[in-house]
Chain A
Amino acid sequence: MADKKDSREVIRDIDISDSGHAYENRQEIYYNDNVGGRAVFVDSKEQYDPDEPYNDEVFIPEKDRDKAPILQVKNLGIDFGGLTAVDNFNLTLGRTEIGGLIGPNGAGKTTIFNMLTKVYEPTRGEIFFDGKSTKGMTTVDINKAGMARTFQNIRLFDKLTVEENIKVALHHTTNYGLIDGMLHTPKYRHEEFRIRKEAMKYLKIFGMTKTADYRAGSLPYGAQRRLEIMRALATKPKLLLLDEPAAGMNPSETSELMDTIKEIRDRFQIAVFLIEHDMSLVMGICEGIVVLNYGRVIAKGWPEEIQSNPKVIEAYLGKSRGKMEEEEEKEKADIEKALKKGRLESAASGKPDRKAGE
């Protein structure tokens, strides 16, 4: 607790101080990466919501506590017609944190991503990205501000090659106009050569340089997922949203993916926020976790806390193993009894009870 308070003091100091020297450290961090992450220098007054960013309810790793949060979400909610899909969602994400968003199917996880990236306009609440409210921004603006995402159902540019998929994402840093593009002027050649090299650098992260000339749509599933992450990364985000990055991957691929996500975070010094059902991945790399059920946050905390939180276990992971075994044995006994009595049907009708708990 004492540590937390200290870091809060530091934040206040930065808030008051002039924007100059207090951010030198971060600037250095941003310039550190060799692919060219964004070096953004923002006026300190707009850095984050002036309310205390790190109170007792937020779970930010210690290393990020001296920096303003990358993302602050306050009381976010959305209604579809009369149905409230997400309500009262709060979140604070550190500068270089890997955050996890978990919850059963239909809990509203992807909806939250869609609100963050403005695919949906939230009905209530506020989103502060990099200290600025995203009110009135479009999906395109959001990306330009530095948030990039992947999709649950892969959305690649299928008919373009792998390399072209990355090059498209490098679009904003490709510096030539329509005339250059139509006439293939020397400027075009120079820029194309440069972004080809840059695209290859990104492909190297996942070791996919050899696939550069293949059509994205014809790649195997796992490679498509990786490509999507690289494409998002190539827009040089400060926050990377990954929607079920490990879906459809086998355990060894997943563990490789975990390493790569960490590597990406360390190398580019960005924040990652991911939705995932694979608990080995979530518990393995996430620093803070939010659990969602029926559109509401039911738990927040560090991985260890989440793992032992009874609410989460009951709502998401199912009943505890011991209990389940107990019940199973009891049921077995019941069925045996029923069989003996020749009343199987009544026992079978009791079965769904156990299923619901799973």
Chain B
Amino acid sequence: MNLLTNIISGLSLGSVYAIIALGYTMVYGISKMLNFAHGDVIMIGGYMSFVMTMYMGLNGWLALLVAMAICTVLGITIERLAYRPLRGTGSLAVLITAIGVSYFLQNIALLIWGANPKMFTSLFKGMKPIHAAGGQLTITMESVFTILANIVIMILLTLFVNKTKAGKAMRAVSEDNGAAQLMGINVNQSISLTFAIGSGLAAVAGVLMLSAYPVLMPTTGAMPGIKAFTAAVFGGIGSIPGAMIGGLILGIIEIFSRAYISTELSDAIVFACLIIVLLVKPTGLLGKKISEKV
């Protein structure tokens, strides 16, 4: 039973990583940049939801919607102000700018809400956990909803990218920016849309994560951000199903190494697994092979 509990909490944590990883993978796919500020958008989403429920007295679900809206706007704004001026100048400049944005968001949060951790109220407070196998196995509502949310988001996103016009435009831009432009696709719009979706999902991921691990601080988003990014690379950056697989595997590895090997070394084990995967498959599990024309 212990094993099953661990698998479920692994899947739950992995689902959070997967949703965050989507933001990374989509942004990387379309603009070839490592958006290090993505983790902090999660944190902002968490704070927004926190503020809405605590100070505005909103219902948790309504607060989530508001947080999503705010994060979407935030994502678009960040792209417009910080990343767009640097488009096409090489990944290093954009990377440093993204780090600057990350510092900015963390310090804004620090100024507004202080360094003291806030206790986040779970979105599923009051919902009773499911007991199975004669009370030996307890599945929290947080786990159930997180895993469900992940599945729903994956399906919707895959449909969106493959079936809709905007989704196809996004794929075209990530395939070849210049050619897409020549075909009359509005590249700016596509990139903005990508950031919007990624950031909106970051808010969802933030609220789900904080429901399970309720400590909210300005640096809350940093580590999950890095790990989700690892998950995106793990699955093959640029690939949506890759993000999901990478996230889930990473979540399970983390929970298992915490449970069976060492709490302190769990992060090290996660990263070691990433390295092993990249050594065997240099572009991640589902990544495309890149080759240079000679």
Contacts and interface: CB of A to CB of B under 8 A. Distances in A.
A and B in direct contact, judged by CB atoms within 8 A? yes
Interface of A: 110, 114, 119, 151
Contacts of A119: 294
B258 to A, nearest CB: 43
Nearest to A149: B294
Interface in B241-294: 294
A151 B294 CA distance: 8
Contacts of A114: 294
Nearest to B294: A119
A119 B294 CA distance: 8
A199 B155 CA distance: 62
B90 to A, nearest CB: 14
A119 B291 CA distance: 11
Contacts of B294: 110, 114, 119, 151
Nearest to B292: A119
A2 B294 CA distance: 43
A110 B293 CA distance: 11
A114 B294 CA distance: 8
4 contacts: A110-B294, A114-B294, A119-B294, A151-B294
Interface of B: 294
B92 to A, nearest CB: 15
A35 B294 CA distance: 30
Nearest to A120: B294
Nearest to B293: A153
A110 B294 CA distance: 8
A151 B293 CA distance: 11
B93 to A, nearest CB: 17
A39 B36 CA distance: 56
The 4 closest A-B pairs by CB, nearest first: A119-B294, A114-B294, A151-B294, A110-B294
Contacts of A151: 294
Nearest to A155: B294
A29 B150 CA distance: 73
B292 to A, nearest CB: 9
Contacts of A110: 294
A296 B294 CA distance: 20
A9 to B, nearest CB: 41
B73 to A, nearest CB: 42
A295 to B, nearest CB: 17
A116 to B, nearest CB: 12
B70 to A, nearest CB: 45
B291 to A, nearest CB: 10
A179 B271 CA distance: 34
A99 to B, nearest CB: 20
A294 B161 CA distance: 38
B231 to A, nearest CB: 31
Nearest to A110: B294
Nearest to A119: B294
A114 B293 CA distance: 10
B94 to A, nearest CB: 21
Nearest to A113: B294
A245 B248 CA distance: 53
A291 B294 CA distance: 21
B288 to A, nearest CB: 14
A119 B292 CA distance: 10
A126 B294 CA distance: 21
Nearest to A152: B294
A335 B294 CA distance: 45
Nearest to A151: B294
A126 B11 CA distance: 52
Nearest to A139: B294
A147 to B, nearest CB: 15
A213 to B, nearest CB: 27
A76 B96 CA distance: 48
Nearest to A111: B294
B294 to A, nearest CB: 5
A172 B294 CA distance: 24
B241 to A, nearest CB: 23
A114 B291 CA distance: 14
A309 B294 CA distance: 31
A141 B294 CA distance: 18
B211 to A, nearest CB: 48
